[in-house]
Structure 1
Amino acid sequence: MNDISNLIYELPKMKAGEELKSALEYIPHYDENIRMENDAMRLMELNELYNIYLPSEMSLEIYSKLYLAMLRSLQKKGTKLAIQQKNENFKAIQQSNYSGIIGGSDSFTIIGASGIGKSSAISRAISLITENRIIEVQNPYVKIIPCLISQCPFDCSAKGLLLEILRKVDELIGSKYYENALRARATTDMLIGNVSQVSLNHIGLLVVDEIQNICNNKSGNSLVAVLTQLINNSGISICMVGTPESSSFFEQAMQLARRSLGLHYSNMPYDNYFKEFCKTVFRFQYVKQRTELTDAVIEWLYEHSNGIISIVISLVHDAQEIAILNKKEILNIDTLNEAYKKRLNMLHDYLNPSIVINRQTSRHKKHKCLVEPCKIGILEADDKNSIVELAKIAKRQELDFLELLKERFSVTEVNV
């Protein structure tokens, strides 16, 4: 008979290294013969692209952080302090006067650009850690949710978030906390006590996604204060997930910054992982004419996605969809360009790579060349496209010097 003091042994063994990479990775089955099927079948199977998951360094770090945070929360359950905290929470529900006994700074953040795979990494890590099951303890009998994922309300309503936590707990373990809270018309103060008690009894780790909603809302500070109180009164770890704009909010004050220490990620660099990811995705071709992935196409994908994995998937998916529908039946630069212009036009202003690889596949702005032919001839003959002479021409004719430079040299732009 399992005991609550041995709760941590109910979790699967922590993985690391190649074993962890292999467990996190998911590559759907692909049959080469699908390319010969009818259009409808191929278009449906094309959606398998969205199921591809290759773990990166970010994935490994997120897995470790979530596992250890969950472990720390579960270790507190069943202790003497946890029992004392339960008694305090029960009194506080009546008096709205809370005091944290078991709490501490058990919150952290996972902050990264939209589309880089934060949510996918969290989902894969949690499914691996919890094996998608509820832990049942017999002595005393209680059901524990190792990890509960909720979402920050768009209006930053503290009451809305607390009720949503109760609703999800009911959904997973079959309780009636949400129904009882509605029937009692519980105030926010009462809900803090209720959710603290429920978290102490039934939740290991709480993940609050879309935390960037707090940035431009006057209720943002109140919501963070509620989460802080929840940590102090329940002892559970709380992970807040959001985009980089939430960093500026947490940096406003020391008490906020202390609660937001964690993992921060930017767009993916042009490295071996990105190349390997492109090679994996490119294997899933559903057009009739198969093409091989070249370095030029990988560079094009990086330049037009800004290193954002979800956009790479969208480009390859939409390019094939367009190629099937218009009967071109090939995945190449032309169909990728068509997908970029037609399907991703609303993202063009956001896709500004930190490094632009200047190759034949790079995007060039169309402009009228006003450089006098005779001057170019003199320049090439006398000084082999001297940068100084080119600068003089650009100044004299009021041209964009950088664009002229790109026409004659291999240029790499770096944002500083």
Structure 2
Amino acid sequence: MTNLSDIINVLPCMKSGDSLIAALEVLPGYNPEIRNTDTSVRLMALSDLYRVYIPSQMSLEIYSKLYLALLRSMQKKGTKLAVQQQNQNYRAIIQQEYSGIMGGSDSFTIIGTSGIGKSSAISRAINLITENRVIEADNPYTHVIPCIIVQCPFDSSVKGLLLEVLRKVDEVLDSKYYQNALRARATTDMLIGSVSQVALNHIGMLVVDEIQNVANSKNGKSLIGALTQLINNSGISICMVGTPESSRFFESAIQLARRSVGLQYTTMSNDKYFQDFCKVMFQYQYVQKRTEITDGIIAWLYEHSAGITSVVVALIHDAQEIAILNGKEILNLKSLNEAYEQRLSLLHGYIQPSISLGKQTSKIKKKTPISTVMATDNKISDDCLSIADLVAKAKNENMDIVQLLKSNIPVVEVAV
């Protein structure tokens, strides 16, 4: 028999170090013989690339943050304060008298650039933390869902978010909170009381994804206020996940900034993790001609992904798909460049390949001069010939114009 006050003992032990990395990692099985099978079979198996998950430092931090937040929330279940809050929530529904007894500020954010794997890291962490989809307690008899994930409505509707929480609870517990709320035509104030009561009894932690929607909506501050009231009336932890766009919203007022303390991430650098990630992804080849990854390919992938792992996966996936369909059957810089030009054209404005001096890591995409003359005027100084004079001299004396320019003015050669 499990008492509600002892429910934290049901949670799996917190992992760390190598055991945590091994538990988070997902590497689908791969048989090299598949490269000799039919085209349709290889194209279907190619989607396994999207199932690969290699934990980064961000993954470990998110796991720890979510585990401790859930632990704090579950510790409040079944306490004397929780019983008092249940009574207050009942009065809130019937008499519209709000009083947060449990209080607390158990909200935090996970903010990061789109595509770096925030949602995947949260999903993997929650799957590891909540081995039991539902925790059952006998004294008093109740069911607790360790974590509920909802998306912030595109219009930041408070009522829409509250109804979605009830609908998610109904999906797991087979209850009828959502139907009853619709039937009663509950107002937003009544819904806050109802959802607080449901969260207090049945929810361990609430994750609100796409929280950046509040930044461009007139209802943004109202929704954050409703979440704050939900925390005070239920004692659960609330995690808000979004892109850097939401940071500007939370920084606009101190009461919002208090709710946004948490983790922040940007695109990754070309470090050992990124290189290992590319090497693992390159092992999943479904083209007939197998190739090995090189330092040049890794550098090209970084330049053309801006350090965003989801773009790397898309490039390797689409490059193989194109190579299989056009019969070239090889994964190399040429096929990767075709995928970048044909499939990722909408991202070119956000992913600009970095300028690298000296070594060129990608194929030339168009016929343009590879030399850029860095000058602010036609003449560099009074003692130096003009650019037009240097060009004329190179033609008359049959000299290399690049070398002649280098000897007179600063010149930087770049790969384009």
TM-score scaled to structure 1, two decimals? 0.91
Q: CA offset at residue 406 of structure 1?
A: 2.2
Tell me, yes or no, if the aligned pair for 1:299 and 1:357 is still in contact at 8 Å: no
Distance 1:220 1:181, change over 3 A: same
1:406 has 2:399 as partner = no
Alpha-carbon distance between aligned partners in 2 of 1:47 and 1:99, rounded to the nearest angstrom? 51
Distance 1:355 1:137, change over 3 A: farther
Per-residue CA distance 1:220-241 (angstroms, 9 max, x = gap): 1111110010011100000000
SS at match of 1:46: helix
Q: CA offset at residue 26 of structure 1?
A: 0.6
AA at the equivalent of 2:368: H
2:409 corresponds to which residue?
A: 390
Q: CA offset at residue 49 of structure 1?
A: 0.3
Distance 1:390 1:357, change over 3 A: closer
Distance 1:353 1:252, change over 3 A: farther
Structure 1 range deviating more: 330-339 or 124-133: 124-133
Q: CA offset at residue 95 of structure 1?
A: 2.1
SS at match of 2:146: strand
Q: CA offset at residue 96 of structure 1?
A: 1.9
Q: CA offset at residue 380 of structure 1?
A: 3.5
Alpha-carbon distance between aligned partners in 1 of 2:157 and 2:401, rounded to the nearest angstrom? 69
Per-residue CA distance 1:119-168 (angstroms, 9 max, x = gap): 00000000000015210001111000000000000111100000000010
1:397 corresponds to which residue?
A: none
1:294 corresponds to which residue?
A: 294
2:28 corresponds to which residue?
A: 28
Distance 1:358 1:12, change over 3 A: farther
Equivalent residues, number: 393
Q: CA offset at residue 363 of structure 1?
A: 7.0
Distance 1:193 1:293, change over 3 A: same
1:196 corresponds to which residue?
A: 196
1:367 corresponds to which residue?
A: 368
Alpha-carbon distance between aligned partners in 2 of 1:195 and 1:354, rounded to the nearest angstrom? 49
Distance 1:283 1:378, change over 3 A: closer
2:335 corresponds to which residue?
A: 335
The CA RMSD measured in Å over matched residues stands at 2.0
Alpha-carbon distance between aligned partners in 1 of 2:184 and 2:263, rounded to the nearest angstrom? 39
AA at the equivalent of 2:69: A
AA at the equivalent of 1:74: M
Tell me, yes or no, if the aligned pair for 1:305 and 1:312 is still in contact at 8 Å: yes
Q: CA offset at residue 360 of structure 1?
A: 1.4
AA at the equivalent of 2:175: S
Distance 1:378 1:203, change over 3 A: closer
1:37 corresponds to which residue?
A: 37
Alpha-carbon distance between aligned partners in 2 of 1:356 and 1:103, rounded to the nearest angstrom? 54
Query: Superposed, which structure 2 residues align to 1:15-414 within 5 Å?
Result: 15-352=15-352, 359-362=359-362, 366-368=367-369, 372=391, 374-375=393-394, 377=400, 380=403, 385-386=406-407, 389-391=408-410, 404-407=411-414
AA at the equivalent of 1:406: E
Q: Which runs of 5+ in 2 are unaligned?
A: 374-386
Q: CA offset at residue 9 of structure 1?
A: 0.5
Identity %: 64
Per-residue CA distance 1:96-128 (angstroms, 9 max, x = gap): 221111021100000000000000000000000
Distance 1:211 1:353, change over 3 A: farther
AA at the equivalent of 2:103: G
Q: CA offset at residue 359 of structure 1?
A: 2.9
Per-residue CA distance 1:168-201 (angstroms, 9 max, x = gap): 0011011111111111110000000000000000
1:399 corresponds to which residue?
A: none
Tell me, yes or no, if the aligned pair for 2:306 and 2:353 is still in contact at 8 Å: yes
Q: CA offset at residue 390 of structure 1?
A: 2.8
Tell me, yes or no, if the aligned pair for 1:110 and 1:241 is still in contact at 8 Å: yes
Per-residue CA distance 1:329-364 (angstroms, 9 max, x = gap): 000000000000000000000013678576312476
Alpha-carbon distance between aligned partners in 1 of 2:29 and 2:306, rounded to the nearest angstrom? 28
Structure 1 range deviating more: 360-369 or 7-16: 360-369
SS at match of 1:54: coil
Alpha-carbon distance between aligned partners in 1 of 2:358 and 2:162, rounded to the nearest angstrom? 51
Alpha-carbon distance between aligned partners in 2 of 1:38 and 1:56, rounded to the nearest angstrom? 35
Alpha-carbon distance between aligned partners in 1 of 2:215 and 2:160, rounded to the nearest angstrom? 17
1:395 corresponds to which residue?
A: none
Q: Which runs of 5+ in 1 are unaligned?
A: 392-403, 412-416
Distance 1:350 1:105, change over 3 A: same
Per-residue CA distance 1:57-101 (angstroms, 9 max, x = gap): 000000000000000000001111111111111001112221111
SS at match of 2:413: helix
Alpha-carbon distance between aligned partners in 2 of 1:304 and 1:113, rounded to the nearest angstrom? 16
Q: CA offset at residue 374 of structure 1?
A: 4.3
Alpha-carbon distance between aligned partners in 2 of 1:2 and 1:169, rounded to the nearest angstrom? 21
AA at the equivalent of 2:412: L
Alpha-carbon distance between aligned partners in 2 of 1:85 and 1:357, rounded to the nearest angstrom? 64
Per-residue CA distance 1:247-294 (angstroms, 9 max, x = gap): 000000000000000000000110000000000000000000000100
1:396 corresponds to which residue?
A: none
Alpha-carbon distance between aligned partners in 2 of 1:44 and 1:336, rounded to the nearest angstrom? 19
AA at the equivalent of 1:215: A
